[in-house]
Chain A
Amino acid sequence: AQSVTQLDSQVPVFEEAPVELRCNYSSSVSVYLFWYVQYPNQGLQLLLKYLSGSTLVKGINGFEAEFNKSQTSFHLRKPSVHISDTAEYFCAVSANSGYALNFGKGTSLLVTP
């Protein structure tokens, strides 16, 4: 089975500052990795995914993440955040032979002026 740990439950940051949201996973098999964003009272929107190939993955809204197999991490980064980035961010993992997504508990990103 796969599991995900998001180390920070809340991350406050000022507008235009850089941000990193941390995600570590555990799995005994090869995995696919995902970051989703959830705005208040909305469903989850896919930000980016790692399936194979380049370990640096670029997604929507200026976000990127790097897959680090040796550290079993998939941290999400953005060089300059906007107020509109305030949301809940979920890291998820699935076995690359499976389909069920295993989610972390989420990180609440709060961007203030």
Chain B
Amino acid sequence: NAGVMQNPRHLVRRRGQEARLRCSPMKGHSHVYWYRQLPEEGLKFMVYLQKENIIDESGMPKERFSAEFPKEGPSILRIQQVVRGDSAAYFCASSPVGTDSYEQYFGPGTRLTVT
């Protein structure tokens, strides 16, 4: 049973470019969460999605960041016009439908470097 998949594992972008991070949840999971880990910091919640719905995006920066989880395919975190401060590790987690344990399964992360 494959775990949460994220790609790419490492991504280098120049300032002003776009970054697209992909997350495939575990089989049978329809809830996806994105977190960001800045250097020397813990993970910070960004957004919670279900298929075709954004449930909570209270942790997303107001500009340049967007997320989607289409009916088919992976969840995408998109960062437009990246800046140096966007350099971080971005983790995706998934959970199964109807869970009451709030147990989230994490992927290996995408490490974004903005030069």
Q: Is the CB of B101 within 8 A of A105?
A: no
Min CB–CB distance B54 → chain A (angstroms): 13
The yes or no answer to B72 lying at the interface (CB within 8 A) is no
Q: Beyond A41-B108, A100-B56, is A32–B42 a contact (Cβ under 8 Å)?
A: no
What is the number of contacts between chain A and chain B, taking CB atoms within 8 Å? 61
The 10 closest A-B pairs by CB, nearest first: A103-B42, A100-B45, A43-B106, A44-B106, A43-B108, A103-B43, A105-B42, A43-B107, A104-B42, A32-B102
The number of chain B residues touching the other chain, given as a range, is 20 to 34
In the assembled complex, B27 has its CB within 8 A of some CB on chain A: no
Chain A contact residues, CB within 8 Å of chain B: 4, 6, 32, 36, 41-46, 49, 51, 90, 92, 94, 96, 98-106
Is B63 among interface residues, defined by CB-CB distance under 8 A? no
Contact, CB under 8 Å: B109 / A99: no
CA distance A32 to B102 in the complex (A): 8
A6 to B43, CA, bound (A): 13
Rounded to whole Å, the gap between the CB of B4 and the closest CB of chain A is 7
- List chain B positions with a Cβ less than 8 A from chain A: 3-4, 6, 31, 33, 35, 40-45, 48, 56, 58-59, 91, 93, 95, 101-109
- Contacts A43-B109, A51-B101 given: A99-B42 contact, CB under 8 Å? no
Apart from A44-B106, A104-B42: 18 A-B pairs, beta carbons within 8 A: A6-B42, A43-B91, A43-B106, A43-B109, A44-B93, A45-B106, A49-B101, A90-B42, A92-B42, A98-B102, A99-B33, A99-B56, A100-B48, A100-B59, A101-B43, A101-B45, A103-B42, A106-B42
Q: Nearest B residue to A105 by beta-carbon distance?
A: B42
